[in-house]
Amino acid sequence: MQYRGVVLDVDGTVVRGDEAIPGALDGLSAIESAGLARLFVSNNPTKAPPAYEARLRKAGIEATAEEIVTSGTTTTVYLAEHHPGARTYCIGESGLHDQLRDAGLELVGPTDAPDVVVVAIDREFDFDDLRDAYVALRDGAKFYGTDPDIIIPTADGDIPGSGAIIHAVAGVAGREPDAVLGKPSAVAQRVVLERLGLPAEDVLVVGDRLDTDIAFGLDAGMETALVKTGVTDEAALANSPYEPHHVLDGLGDIGRLLSK
């Protein structure tokens, strides 16, 4: 198949921590040589695209903020469209708070009658946060999660992600989120395809996670390639309802798909 664009997951696919995964730079060179449009699409909401640009450059990857979409991006796009200027209580780290403010949302405390509760990874999440989210949701606030990733890969090993905290809040609130806005959501699909300016059938999605990266591509009608450098092992692949079109040892092997 002849692709015109590629969507690349970041953590576990291109980098781990601040270092490029072995072979990733070769894979990126093959994509550049093929003349494909590209986007780096991450479910990490803690950094805005300019901060991701700096992180990728540190790993030896030349990228611009315009080539980067995060779950923070998709969350702020959705909230700005559907809840412009909303009073927002956010469980999340400072980078996400900044993105929400930049989108025109008013960040408030849990006792300030928030219209919206946004939940994401927060490495200082505690009992008080859980209680406060419960109270805000009990009192009628809308409930949004940035992304469903329960476990995320880091340089020091896998750690709990946004999905773990979203599940904790949903459990105590007795309700599911009104939407989870990162991959594989329809919101993320729309934002990515609009940014690429391509139809789904011309795009290849490459990622390490079946229930986000591969589901994202399959649901949108894109072709998909799973890399085995992240969280998915052979057992998970064999038992998953999401079947990628291709399985690669790593991004360095993408050239064989581009030469078909």
Q: Which amino acids are annotated catalytic?
A: 9, 11
Cβ atoms of 80 and 105 closer than 8 Å: yes
Pick the closest to residue 71 from 157, 3, 2, 163 (CA basis). 163
Residue 223's DSSP bridge partners are 204
Q: Residue 192, CB half-sphere, CA atoms under 13 Å: how many?
A: 37
Q: Residue 105, CB half-sphere, CA atoms under 13 Å: how many?
A: 29
What are residue 205's phi and psi, to 5 degrees?
A: -105, 130
Cβ atoms of 245 and 223 closer than 8 Å: yes
Residue 119's DSSP bridge partners are 91, 145
